[in-house]
Amino acid sequence: MSAAAQHPNITLYTLAQVEKVEGYIGNFEVTIRLKARYVDMKKCTGCGICETKCPTKVVSEFDQGLGKRPAIYKPFPQAVPNKPVIDAANCRKLKEGKCGVCAKVCPTGAINYEDQDQIITEKVGAIVMATGFDLIDWTKYYGEYGGGKYPDVITGLQFERLVNASGPTGGKIKRPSDGKVPETVVFIKCVSSRDDTKGKAYCSRACCMYTAKHAIQVKEKLPNCDVYVFYMDVRTPGKAYDEFFERAKKAGAKYIRGRVSKIYQQGDKYIVKGEDTLVGQNVQVEADLVVLANAMVPDRDAIKTAQIVGFSYDKDGFYTEAHPKLQPVETNTGGVFLAGCCQGPKDIPDTVAQASAAAAKVIMLLSKDELIANPMIAFVNTELCSGCGLCTKICPYRAITLETITERVHGHEIKRDVASVNSGLCQGCGACTAECRSGAINLKGFTNSQILAEVEAACR
Amino acid sequence: MKRIGVFLCHCGTNIGGVVDIAKVAEEVAKLPNVVTVQENKYSCSEPGQESILKGIKEHNLDRVVIAACSPRMHENTFRGVLERAGLNPYLLEMVNVREHNSWVHANEPEKATQKSIDLIRKAVFKVAKLEPLQPSKIGITKKALVIGGGIAGIQAALDIADAGHQVILVEREATIGGKMAMLDKTFPTLDCSA
């Protein structure tokens, strides 16, 4: 993380969102909104006094709801950049005009309550999409697991915060409800994955391995704790992966092949009712903590971002690669590449490999001085064009605009609008040629006369 | 008069195992402007390409029809053959007689054979109308944008930056690191993630 922030060739914008992308491969113009941080990054030294003095405490998103943070905060101790931000929705000064403690204690005068969003534009030649994933909101689909009403039925990502030394418990595995150290932990895999009636049909790919890791971590930290893992299949195809799964079993994790049908509270225990399909019996475990491996889904802004940048995504919202085998990190839009879970669920080694592949494609592109453009694109016969603009609306690549031309007609100079095709943006799809009422727009390699020759041949 | 060559690919048994290629060749040879019809076991292979190249030169062809697989994979391969033979690479029509024909009509070889003839006839009429095309050149801004500052975005940004190009890394949250920064240890080596 810090290597990226320190690299002389990388400009880092945090609290930033891409709002508009215009142009085409090699020549994009990008509009970026830099949100107000209310902290002057140049003056702030990251000392952290403001965080300790802020009187407001709200739920920490970074700790997945398991901890609290102040309204002026760094999401975690190693945050990059290592400077705090004010959460405007929860800051008393910004909401009610009262408080202002952080400004009073700041030794460098870095707090700026008047800070505003800024809009900047940048010109780039290539774009890498790396918008990542979210975990599916399992509470909508699994009423039988309590639908979110049990505080000790948590997700894998919440468990990560529980075992993390910088997490809300300092790395001690404790129940969120009462801080009790669990004696029995149950893990349930494929929660909303591989089940299109209750979520997603696909496999989320990382859960078998991270659940094995969680099981090992519990047994390392709490050797006397019982660990049960309910699974449909164990999918560990990867270098040293199956060995890792064996290690989890050797560490003492008990794997039960079957689904969990119900979780309910009894005293301070959670009764986990399921099935062991290998022995054909119902099983019941009294658990203190239940950890769900819920499905990976695209980031909440993934579809909006794809529409802004202008490329396609699948029915689940994952970004579509140009070819599943031969162009796995390219999109159908020239100059836009994919890295990581925005393209589909994957683990860290695959994500890193794909990110380097996307980087290699970008480097190949940027190492050239000029690009050869596909010549099979639309062209306009301005004599026939009436300037109606239908083609500008149908074009999925925003490649056609109306431009004003000057002509001499019967000795008079007149101005009129005609369609104009941007050769960098046009992908040669032909939608405009079918839309054009006056036959003024044609696709090179698929002109009306060429297609009619085919029709004539087909009718012979 | 145009001089059109038609090259029929067997694609092993993918096409040749269903379509009666000899019959197709016989029918296609009767079409106007067709100077030569040739067969190849695998047109995309090195010997396949060489035989097309030879055919173009030997018969002084100015237009080429290749009846084979989907153009998605090999249109560029065959455009390269035309270019090497001294032709404009866009004077080529590919006819997809595999995905659009032999694969989907594997149980109806006679109809598949007739469909091949029909599809190739269309291409022969179209190819005669093709004009040479010249690709244009466009400039490049030597800078990249990476959207998302998780492990994927950081890795991509570092690699591009290490190659000497400028990178803009845009992250929605207050810090980079994404989900990876939330993790404790990572499988299968249990090394730390932050």
Q: Would A403 be classed as within a structural domain?
A: yes
> Which of A14, A28, A126 is closest, CB to CB, to B175?
A14
Which of A297, A331, A358 is the endpoint of a domain? A297
CB pairs under 8 A between A and B: 313
Q: Would A153 be classed as within a structural domain?
A: yes
In Å, how far are A373, A424, A428, B64, B132 from B135, measured between CA atoms?
6, 11, 13, 19, 10
Residues A396, A273, single domain; the answer is no
Residues A270, A401, single domain; the answer is no
Which of A297, A312, A330 is the endpoint of a domain? A297
For CA atoms A337, A341, A345, A349, the dihedral sign is positive
Residues A163, A287, single domain; the answer is yes
Q: Would A452 be classed as within a structural domain?
A: yes
Looking up residue A283, the CATH number of its domain turns out to be 3.50.50.60
Looking up residue A440, the CATH number of its domain turns out to be 3.30.70.20
* Region for A33 from its dihedrals, namely left if φ exceeds 0, alpha if ψ lies in -120 to 50, beta otherwise: beta
Query: Cβ contact (<8 Å) for A342 and B154?
Result: no
Query: Cβ contact (<8 Å) for B188 and A243?
Result: yes
The total number of structural domains in chain A stands at 2
Quote the distance between the C-alpha of residue B127 and its chain's center: 18
A370-372 and B137-139: which strand pairing? antiparallel
Q: Which of A7, A10, A311 to mutate to test the interface with B (most CBs of B within 10 A)?
A: A10
Residue (of A4, A108, A1, A88) closest to A38 by Cα position = A88
CA dihedral (A359, A360, A362, A367) in degrees, to 10, reads 140
| Residues in chain B within 8 Å Cβ distance of A24 | 138
> Which of B124, B136, B182 is closest, CB to CB, to A457?
B124
- Taking 50 as the pLDDT cut, the residues of chain B under it are none
* Cβ neighbours for A163, distance < 8 A, ≥ 6 positions apart: A171, A173, A214, A217, A221, B184, B185
Quote the distance between the C-alpha of residue A298 and its chain's center: 5
Contact yes or no for A301/A295 (Cβ under 8 A): no
Q: How far is A425 from chain B (nearest CA, A)?
A: 11
State residue A425's pLDDT score: 83
Lookup: tokens for A376: 């099979």
Helix (H) or strand (E) holding A366: helix A348-366
Q: Would A16 be classed as within a structural domain?
A: no
Residues A164, A265, single domain; the answer is yes
State residue B48's pLDDT score: 97
- Residue B187 and residue B156: Cα distance in Å, rounded? 21
Q: Would A140 be classed as within a structural domain?
A: yes
3-class state of residue A193 by DSSP: coil
Residues A389, A249, single domain; the answer is no
Q: How far is A281 from chain B (nearest CA, A)?
A: 32
Chain B residues 53-92 with CB within 8 Å of chain A: 72-73, 90
Phi, psi (deg, nearest 5) at residue B89: -65, -15
3-class state of residue A407 by DSSP: strand
Query: Cβ contact (<8 Å) for A10 and B161?
Result: yes
* Region for A249 from its dihedrals, namely left if φ exceeds 0, alpha if ψ lies in -120 to 50, beta otherwise: alpha
State residue B103's pLDDT score: 97
Residues A185, A280, single domain; the answer is yes
Q: pLDDT tens across A11-64, in order?
A: 999 999 999 999 889 999 999 999 999 999 999 999 999 999 999 999 999 999
Phi, psi (deg, nearest 5) at residue A189: -95, 170
In chain B, what are the domain boundaries?
4-129, 143-192
Report H helices in A196-314.
207-221, 241-250, 302-309
The label of the residue with tokens 């900047």 reads A120
Q: How far is B149 from chain A (nearest CA, A)?
A: 7
State residue B194's pLDDT score: 65
Residues A416, A275, single domain; the answer is no
> Which of B122, B133, B164 is closest, CB to CB, to A444?
B133
Q: Would A341 be classed as within a structural domain?
A: no
Q: Which domain holds residue A199?
A: 133-297
Quote the distance between the C-alpha of residue A81 and its chain's center: 20
Q: Would A124 be classed as within a structural domain?
A: no
State residue A64's pLDDT score: 95
State residue A427's pLDDT score: 85
State residue A396's pLDDT score: 84
CATH architecture of B4-129: 3-Layer(aba) Sandwich (3.40)
Chain B residues 132-191 with CB within 8 Å of chain A: 133-190
Which of A248, A266, A297 is the endpoint of a domain? A297
| Residues in chain B within 8 Å Cβ distance of A16 | 170-172
What are the percentages of helix, strand and coil residues in chain A, rounded to 5? Answer: 25, 30, 45
- Taking 70 as the pLDDT cut, the residues of chain A under it are none
- Residue A131 and residue A309: Cα distance in Å, rounded? 12
| Residues in chain B within 8 Å Cβ distance of A347 | 187
Q: How far is B142 from chain A (nearest CA, A)?
A: 5
- Residue A66 and residue A80: Cα distance in Å, rounded? 22
Q: Which of A1, A39, A208 to mutate to test the interface with B (most CBs of B within 10 A)?
A: A1
